Amino acid sequence: MKKTAVSTDRGPKAIGPYSQAIKVPGLMFVSGQTPLDPKTGQMVGENVREQTIRVLDNIQGILESQGLGMADIVKTTVFLKHMNDFATMNEIYADRFPSPAPARSTIQVARLPKDALVEIEAIVVLD
């Protein structure tokens, strides 16, 4: 099975030994995106609303660089620093996905890279 790394300036550069995304036949796995600005590499947003918008913009940019869109996502995992932020994250999230929305898990975690409030990873179908 051949795997291909995705690298684009439409999403933040990897800050460790991982790829922005990996394509395998039929699927693409988008690494967890935090609210890093792709142009500056700096964290953006002081609250979960602003950070969720940036995270979803990063995912969308990576997808669009490959000729894909949010409708191609079949599964996401959302990591929240505070589960109390779920409703706010969910409001932004719901506006970004066409129906049917992807399957999703949401997990509260103790800490995220660079002390982000939200991180989202995605699995994408490549039909």
Q: Where are the alpha helices (DSSP H) in the chain?
A: 48-64, 86-96
The structural domain count of the chain equals 1
Name the DSSP letter for residue 16.
Answer: S
As a whole number of Å, the CA-based R_g of the chain is 14
Whole-angstrom distance, CA of residue 122 vs CA of residue 74: 8
Amino acid at position 21, single letter: A
CA angle 92, 93, 95 (to 5 degrees): 70
The dihedral through the CA atoms of 98, 99, 100, 101 has a sign that is positive
Domain around 10:
4-125
List the CATH number of the domain containing 26: 3.30.1330.40
pLDDT at residue number 127: 82
Q: 71 with 91: CB under 8 angstroms?
A: no
pLDDT at residue number 15: 82
pLDDT at residue number 66: 98
pTM of the model as a whole: 0.97
Each residue's pLDDT tens digit, 8-61: 999 999 988 999 999 999 999 999 999 999 999 999 999 999 999 999 999 999
Each residue's pLDDT tens digit, 60-108: 999 999 999 999 999 999 999 999 999 999 999 999 999 999 999 999 9
